[in-house]
Amino acid sequence: MIEQVLTRRGAALRVKITVKTLISLGVIALAVILPQLIHLALGAPGGVQWLPMYLPILLGGCLLGWKWGMGVGILSPAISFAITALAGNPMPAAVRLPYMIVELAVFGAVSGLFSRRIAKNGWMAFPAVLLAEVAGRLVFLAVAAIFESVSPLSAAVVWSQIQTGLLGMVLQAVLVPFAVMGLRLLLIRDKE
């Protein structure tokens, strides 16, 4: 969506890259900070239920497109892990990190596939987020099933986590599209 807005405004490639980089850094920062706040307020179970890192990734995908969305999906859990490990409490946990990187990469890429359509019709953010959530969770479950013989994270544990996080996913399936539509309206209105 950002690409289309910048193109309509005649922005140079350097400007597009700069804007996308700044938005990506903001998304990654939000993906690091939001889980910390949820864990402080609700503990580790709050993170599994509300899935706070997923919201910025879905937002980033819708705004930035599939390549940049996949990039923030990969970098967010890795950077969060690196920063929080320095404090002695890595989030996500090391055993969960590779799974989360793959899952969030899918979230960012799938929601980003709709970025051009969202630029034309803000309501497309709803299927973008829903399909990204379903695809990401299915990939998470599939990867856990494939590697359960060598990982402590089994498909049964992942299925339980998916069920626990259902309310958070539903909430994000509503909040993210409305946030994207609001940003779209601001950007379009600002253009006119």
The string of pLDDT tens digits covering residues 171-182 is: 999 999 999 999
Architecture in CATH for domain 2-191: Orthogonal Bundle (1.10)
pLDDT mean across residues, the chain = 95
Query: Quick one: pLDDT at residue 116?
Result: 95
Whether the Cβ atoms of residue 44 and residue 90 lie closer than 8 Å to each other: no
pLDDT in tens, 100-129: 999 999 999 999 999 999 999 999 999 999
Least confident of 33-37, 87-91, 111-115, 166-170: 87-91
**Model confidence at 143: pLDDT above 60:** yes
Residues 22-75 pLDDT 10s: 999 999 999 999 999 999 999 888 999 999 999 999 999 999 999 999 999 999
- Cβ contacts of 92-100, under 8 Å, gap ≥ 24: 92/53, 95/151, 95/152, 95/153, 96/153, 99/140, 99/143, 99/144, 99/153, 99/158, 100/53
Q: Inform me whether the pLDDT recorded for 191 exceeds 60.
A: no
* Cβ contacts of 63 within 8 Å, gap of 6 or more: 1, 2, 23, 27, 115, 180, 183
Residue with tokens 């979230």: 107
Q: In this model, does residue 190 exceed pLDDT 60? A: no
pTM: 0.95
Q: What is the pLDDT of residue 75?
A: 98
Q: Where are the domains of the chain?
A: 2-191
Inter-residue long-range contacts of 35-42, CB under 8 Å, 24+ positions, other chains counted: 35/80, 35/91, 36/84, 36/91, 39/91
Strand (E) positions, 37-180?
none
